[in-house]
Structure 1
Amino acid sequence: MKKFDLIIIGAGRASNLAVSAGKAGKKVAIIEKSTLGGTCPNRGCVPSKLLIGYAHVANAIKESNRHFINSTINNIDIEKIFAETNEYISKIDGRYNSRFNENVEVFKGTGFFVSDNIIKVNEQKLTAPKIVIATGTKPKKPEHEKAWTSDDIFPLEGKIPKSITIVGSGFIACELAGFFSAIGIETKLLVRSQNILGNEDDEIASIFKKEFSKKVDIEFDTSAIDVEYKNEQFTMILENTNGQKKQHKSEALLYAIGRESNTSSLKLENTSIEINERGYIKRDIFFETTAKGVYVVGDAAGVYMLQHAAAYEVNHVSKILLEECEEPLHFKYMPHAVFTDPEIASVGLTEQEAKKLNIEYISTTTNWLASAKAMSTKLKYPVTKFIVNPKNYEILGCHMIGPESSTMMHQVLAVMHINNDIRHLKEMLYIHPAMSEAILPAAVESVRAIEKFRE
């Protein structure tokens, strides 16, 4: 039995905790069954955004006519695109490992619980008074054994397909469909309903559907049935909700139909750790599970399943374990973005959620055309939507669609973090004529609507 001060299961965002604990002189064991860094830098956020960078350039060339520029793409070196991305991924394990000092011992393998405070990995038993579970999530299993999930894209080894069918309607499906289509791989996105990005505000999702459909071949109300794989090609029957069927073929088939709990390998049945009805680990306001001394952070808890949320949680758990912090972590808001073309950024309540909660609110939607920088894009669809409390000017939700929405949203987030009052956005000084200046008329319109409501 090897004794440690801290055991961490999962070396994604929680690797930061291992670094901090090691520097604090704690003896740390960190267990990872795959590559250090976890999903985000290896199979998720980072490599997907590297690929999307190529898509943005390709789309800009294709759409240059709106700037009165006639241009063509002579060649897209798809193999080079993937080779460069794969090379980046190949160095991640080493980068993460180099951050650990002599107090941190890395165990490569699947760790599982023997009891509340004993972990077994590679036939070795480890124990510590404090254990942190940070095992993340995994893609839901595809409906055909030869089909891919997002985990199979990074790194994409072997033959790069000339055609791909993607099943799903969430941000992973849309981001990957947007990339493959932009670089010239024949792409079809299958959506089982009329809704795409269904978690977004309905008004924003409607704009997205219209614009994204111009770039990607989407079959709505359609499912793939009778899928066969033969001679390195998928043959499937596409069936819509009216019962109409047609044959479709592609070299690759990818399912992006959501993610699920990744805790099945932990053997929690050997512990007093409880899970909820969705299979995620229960925890209290200090991230502690129902087993004393065992904590859970990030996606494994199934609360805010976003990388920036996991990093925020790990930072706070570090304070609890290493600095004797006795304050719980309260998220004031939880923003997210969809890095597609068009790009979306969102925080807080959608209008449909506000209606469902039966709360009083004011909603305004304002275009970006007051900003010359926004006008220079020659795009007419970008808008900012505010949902605010008319009683105290509190921003309940903000939703943007347009170039660099994820960057622009941080101006709103700063106000929400410090003193959530939309009047700050109305009164502040903006750089003219920056893209973010488009937030000013949106804030002015929202405040005007509130004042009219209060008359």
Structure 2
Amino acid sequence: MSDYDYDYFVIGGGSGGVRTARIAAGHGAKVGLAEEYRVGGTCVIRGCVPKKLLIYGAHFAEDLVDAERFGWTVNDKSFDWQTLRKNVLEEVDRIEGAYTSTLESHKVDVFHDRAVFQDAHTLKVGDRTITADKICIATGARPGRFPCEGQEHAITSNEVFHLEKLPDSILIAGGGYIANEFAGIFNELGSKVTVVNRSDKLLRAYDHSVVERMMHIATIKGIEFVYNAPFAKVEKREDGGVRVTTEGGETLEADLLLAAIGRPPNTDGLNLEDVGVDLTDKGAIRVDDASRTSVDNIFAVGDVTDRVQLTPVAIREGHALADTLFGGNPWTVDYDCIPSAVFSHPPIAQVGMTEAEARDTLGGVEIYTSDFRAMKNVLANRNERSLYKLVVDSATRKLVGAHMIGPDAPEIMQALAIAVKAGLTKEQVDATVAIHPTMAEELVLMR
């Protein structure tokens, strides 16, 4: 018999926490999990899943216009925000139920309470004291706040899915994927959108030429961009709107302010310092390649470690940890060539090195591009061009990076990521017969 209540206890019921708990239980471990809010975490409850559903809904604004060129007559077009919001939140409820059922079917004990360390093996979970041989922290991250007066007048991505009505105008602070995705959503749904960035660059991790194309298209669609404008003060107007004063003295006003300025790790209040778990300067949990913290029996996966803040990465980290600890199959996550996407309008996707990174790292590179209008856009008279780029190592002819912006770019990139990850050469890509007519065929026709 074990000296502990559980072989494995997971703090946090997000994607990484649910996966590691389920896999560990499947290996025969006695597993408990604490989630103080809702099972599913940021991705399912207030992140990528509901946001992608809003993106689908928003894109109908363009599709209904384009339909007329394809012979369709669409009369009395109108949009009801509360219908979309209601259906999205109901889908979130459904998925949360599925996550919970998965844990229960694997006999994971779920506690809907906050867990706090008392010592390396002991947790206070609500009003219970629970002990565990091994503990995994999977508490994720939270939306960042402005370091200025009036920060409480902004909403974050946590609240945006619950708005009672759409704003006529919105300021979105941030230059990352969250800011640009919500900019596209609100713009398509009819709000006047202004993206305000504290620096002079958007989407720093993405290829420069693809980001430039996204900004060009977004500007034509009516989104405004303000750069080098860190906030000095946020005020509430008498009519309920907001007034922002930048450090440069500029004043910006709108009905709503959305803060999308990064996601700091959720480590506050867990009592980690007293237990001896080391944190980075940014408050993330410091772990080794096997997700082990500075305390031998305590581990951490997902956004709380701030390695790569992506749901599929958290899932793989949690799976690897459970297999290693309880499955007799030790393995670690390979962080090389992780594909990613920005679900803007149109979306961006990439894998591997950007052109700039390849030139700095490899020296000799060859760049192949295709700049074209998708067939659907041509007939719709929509002057919106896609851009595909392949980055090739001159010495080995291997494909080391791929970048694209255009309809369905993330769907296409998932398959292309296999080629980059596998180290296929440009000649092997060229030898692949095209599927015609498709946008994706451009990838095998670049010469």
> TM-score, normalising length from structure 2?
0.90
Return the alpha-carbon distance in structure 2 between the equivalents of residues 282 and 158 of structure 1. Answer: 40
Distance (whole Å) between structure 2 residues aligned to residue 380 and residue 230 of structure 1: 38
Q: Does 1:11 align with 2:13?
A: yes
Q: Which residue of 2 aligns with 1:76?
A: 79
> Quick one: which amino acid aligns to residue 93 of structure 2?
S
Shift of 1:23: 3.5
Moved more, 129-138 or 141-150: 141-150
Q: Is the 8 A contact 2:400 2:423 kept in 1?
A: no
* Structure 1 letter corresponding to 2:243: M
Give aligned-pair identity as a percent: 29
| Residue identity matched to 1:229 | K
Pair 1:182 & 2:188 matched? yes
Partners of 1:238 and 1:322 in 2: CA distance: 54
Q: Using the TM superposition, give the Cα deviation of residue 227 of structure 1 relative to its aligned residue in structure 2, in angstroms.
A: 2.4
1:220-299 equivalent positions in 2, closer than 5 A: 220-221=226-227, 222=229, 225-231=232-238, 233-237=240-244, 239=246, 245-246=250-251, 248-250=253-255, 252-299=256-303
Task: In structure 2, list runs of 5 or more residues that go unmatched.
Answer: none
Match of 1:405 among 381, 386, 409: 409
User: Residue 200 of structure 1: which of 203, 206, 216 is its match?
Assistant: 206
Q: Is the 8 A contact 1:225 1:236 kept in 2?
A: no
* Aligned partner of 1:45 among 44, 48, 60: 48
**Alpha-carbon offset, residue 32 of structure 1:** 0.8
One-letter identity of the residue aligned with 1:3: D
**CA–CA distance in 1 between the matches of 2:284 and 2:340?**
21
Contact 1:374/1:435, CA 8 A, preserved across alignment: no
> Per-residue deviation at 1:368?
4.3
Aligned to 2:88: 85
Match of 2:398 among 370, 394, 398: 394
Q: Is the 8 A contact 1:79 1:160 kept in 2?
A: no
CA 1:435/1:34 → structure 2, altered by over 3 Å: closer, same or farther? same
Cα distance between partner residues in 1 of 2:77 and 2:379: 26
CA separation of 1:240 and 1:132: change in aligned 2, threshold 3 A: closer
Structure 2 Cα separation of the partners of residues 423 and 264 of structure 1: 51
Could you tell me how far 1:279 is from its partner in structure 2? Answer: 1.8
Q: Secondary structure at the match of 1:303?
A: coil
CA contact (8 A) 2:237 2:243 kept: no
Kept in 2, the 8 Å contact 1:164–1:187? The answer is yes
Call closer, same or farther: CA 1:29–1:219 in 2, change over 3 Å.
same
The aligned amino acid for 1:212 is: A
Corresponding position of 1:146:
153
Query: Which of 341, 347, 351 is 2:355 aligned to?
Result: 351
Q: Deviations over 1:312-336 (max 9, x none)?
A: 2222222212321233332341110
SS at match of 2:241: strand
Q: Is the 8 A contact 2:155 2:257 kept in 1?
A: yes
Q: What is the rounded CA distance, in whole Å, between the counterparts of 1:410 and 1:398 in structure 2?
A: 11
Look up the SS of the partner of 2:158 in the other structure.
helix
The one-letter code sitting in structure 2 at the alignment partner of 1:11 is G
Q: Do residues 430 (structure 1) and 434 (structure 2) align?
A: yes
Please report how far the alpha carbon of residue 223 of structure 1 lies from its aligned counterpart in structure 2 after TM superposition: 5.0
Offset of residue 130 of structure 1: 1.6
> Does structure 1 retain, via aligned residues, the 8 Å contact 2:302–2:315?
yes
Query: Post-superposition shift, 1:68?
Result: 8.9
Which has the larger displacement, 59-68 or 183-192? 59-68
Distance 1:227 1:96 in 2: 39
Say which SS state the counterpart of residue 81 (structure 1) adopts. helix
* 2:157 partner letter: S
Pairwise CA distance, 1:239: 4.8
Tell me how far 1:423 sits from its aligned partner.
Answer: 2.4
Contact 2:234–2:242 under 8 Å retained in 1? yes
Q: CA, structure 1 residues 190+386, in 2 after alignment: closer, same or farther (shift >3 Å)?
A: same
For residues 87-102 of structure 1, the aligned pairs below 5 Å read 87-99=90-102, 100-101=104-105
* Cα distance, 1:235–1:40 mapped onto 2, change above 3 Å: closer
The structure, 1 or 2, with the larger RCO (C-alpha pairs under 8 Å, 6+ apart) is 2
- The C-alpha deviation readout for 1:36-59, integer Å capped at 9, x for no partner, is 010001000000000000111112
Q: Quick check: 1:36–1:93 contact (8 Å CA) kept in 2? A: yes
Q: Sort the Cα spacing of 1:302 and 1:434 in 2 relative to 1 into closer, same or farther, 3 A.
A: same
**Mapped pair 1:217 → 2:223:** yes
Please name the residue that 1:313 is paired with: 317
Contact 1:320–1:326 under 8 Å retained in 2: yes
- Structure 1 residue 110: Cα displacement: 1.7
1:301 corresponds, among 305, 308, 319, to 305
Q: Secondary structure at the match of 1:342?
A: coil
- Normalising by structure 1, report the TM-score: 0.88
Secondary structure (helix, strand or coil) at the match of 2:264 reads strand
Aligned partners of 2:142 and 2:264 also within 8 Å = yes
| CA RMSD between the two structures | 2.6
1:20/1:246 Cα in 2 relative to 1: closer, same or farther (>3 Å)? closer
